[in-house]
Amino acid sequence: MEQPNLNYINELSGDDEVFKQKMIAIVKTELPQEIESYQSLLKSQNFIAAAEMVHKLKHKISVLGLEKSYYLAQTFEENLKNNNIQLQNDFEFILERMSNFVTSLK
Amino acid sequence: MGMNCIIIDDEEMARIIIAQMISNHNELKLTQEFSNAMQAIKYLNQNEVDLIFLDIHMPDFTGFDFIQTIKNPPKIILVTSDKNFAIEAFEYECIVDYLVKPITEERFQKAIQRANSVKPSFTSIKESKTTIEDKTNEFYVNIDRRLIKIEFNSVTLIEAKGDYIHIKTDVKNYIVHSTLKKIEDKLPKDLFLKVHRSFIINTKKIIDIEDNSVLIGKDVIPVSRANRPELMKRLNLL
């Protein structure tokens, strides 16, 4: 199973430690907010808006190096646009792994 | 000569990544960042901008809405998490390239080279294509990176749903990222009619009409008071 990682952020940052820390700080701030919005929209069965939030989360998924998960998120986004919650559990498992990883970052 | 750039993206992380890449290029000068397109429109009215990094997927006002709103768009590099918009992107001459997130330095470099080699053009291809499209019997929608052909005659109705439109046909339904206004421009005027701010119907598919609604297949569609006279005009009343 693929694991979240900082490969992309490291590559982008190069020797620029300030930029790297800035990126990590943003992921730490934005990820929980986006997950909370997604959960709230799904709970209220606002599937189209939830799909928009999944779309936004896809960028975080790819920034954290989860290439296969990105495609799962893409399919889930399309499912939500059709009022279908298939893949919800798989998607939320990805979110959980990302959250745990991001929380562990210093 | 340097290029003045702006970034329009609702996601802070995306703005920071693009800003970092811009800072690595001497010929680029980042003059402003915007989290929404409306702020950028105001800025463009007062400042000279050579290149815009534009996110497509933004709440309320999409990147394509933005392009259609500004009068003389500068060169634009689209930035998105979705490859599905690529076809629509090439309908605008001002769009010089299309970057899929997460952006790599290598791909960014290519986009800048492309922006440097393309002369600015202020005309949308869409305008010159109108007469050709009027004669066709079908249109294409982009779903899951596939262009799907839909015959005008098979469409029963189109409903606006947020940033999407729901196209119903005799055989299948489609959800497409677009607006009612955009699709209305593509449809033959003699066949389709906007009967409500959220609905366009194929007038040939009407089963019956009541005071303020029309039955299309099994769907009861509201007809707004303002649109009712035009609907009545279209009917071959006994």
Strand partners of residue B7: B33, B53
Q: What does the pLDDT look like over B214-234, one tens digit per residue?
A: 999 888 999 988 888 888 877
Structure tokens that stand for B37 in this block:
């397109």
CA distances from A53 to A28, B85, B157, B159 (A): 17, 18, 28, 22
- pLDDT for res B85: 64
CB of B16 less than 8 A from some CB of A: yes
What the block records as the tokens of B167 is 């196209």
From chain B, pick out residues whose CB is under 8 angstroms from the CB of A78.
144
Q: Rounded to whole angstroms, what are the CA distances from B56 to A28, A56, B98, B121, B185?
A: 24, 11, 10, 20, 20
pLDDT bucket at A53, cuts 50 / 70 / 90: very high
Rounded CA separation A75/A42 (Å): 16
Instruction: Please judge whether A62 and B101 are an interchain contact, meaning their C-beta atoms are less than 8 angstroms apart.
Output: yes
Domain range annotation of chain A: 7-104
Q: Residue A79 in contact with residue A87, Cβ under 8 Å? A: yes
Long-range contacts of B218-226 (CB under 8 A, 24+ apart): B219/B156, B219/B157, B219/B168, B221/B157, B221/B195, B221/B196, B222/B195, B222/B196, B223/B195, B223/B196, B224/B195, B224/B196, B224/B197
Confirm or reject contact between A12 and chain B (CB < 8 A): yes
- On whether any CB of chain A is under 8 Å from the CB of B162, the answer is yes
Please give the average per-residue pLDDT across A59-74, as a whole number: 93
Q: Topology of domain B3-126, per CATH?
A: Rossmann fold (3.40.50)
The Cα of A60 is separated from the nearest Cα of chain B by a number of Å equal to 9
Higher pLDDT, A105 or B58: A105
DSSP code of residue B154: G
pLDDT of B171-216, one tens digit each? Answer: 888 888 888 988 888 888 889 999 999 999 999 899 888 878 899 9
Whose tokens are 């009407």? That residue is: B206
Q: Please report residues of A whose CB lies closer than 8 A to that of B14.
A: 59
Q: Chain B, 76-105: which have a CB under 8 Å from a chain A CB? A: 81-82, 101-102, 104-105
pLDDT at B84: 67
pLDDT of residue A61: 95
CATH 3.40.50.2300-classified regions of chain B: 3-126
Residues of chain B with pLDDT under 70: 1, 83-90, 119-135, 144-145, 238
Best of A81, A83, A98, A102 to mutate (most B CBs within 10 Å, chain B):
A81
Distance (Å, whole) CA B238 – CA A83: 42
| CB-based contact A63 B13, cutoff 8 Å | yes
Say which residues have a Cβ less than 8 Å from residue B109's Cβ, sequence separation at least 6.
B25
B136-234 has which CATH code?
Answer: 2.40.50.1020
Domain with CATH 2.40.50.1020 in chain B: 136-234
Cβ distance B14 to A55 less than 8 Å, yes or no, reads no
Identity of residue A18? V
Query: Residue B132's pLDDT is what?
Result: 34
**Rounded-to-integer distance, Cα B195 and Cα B185, Å:** 15
Tell if the CB–CB gap between B11 and A56 is shorter than 8 Å.
yes
Chain A residue at shortest CA distance from B105: A12
- In Å, how far are A51, B30, B62, B115, B180 from B162, measured between CA atoms? 12, 32, 11, 32, 10
CB contact under 8 A, A55 and B175: no
CB neighbourhood size of B86 (10 A): 15
A70: closest CA of chain B, how far (Å): 10
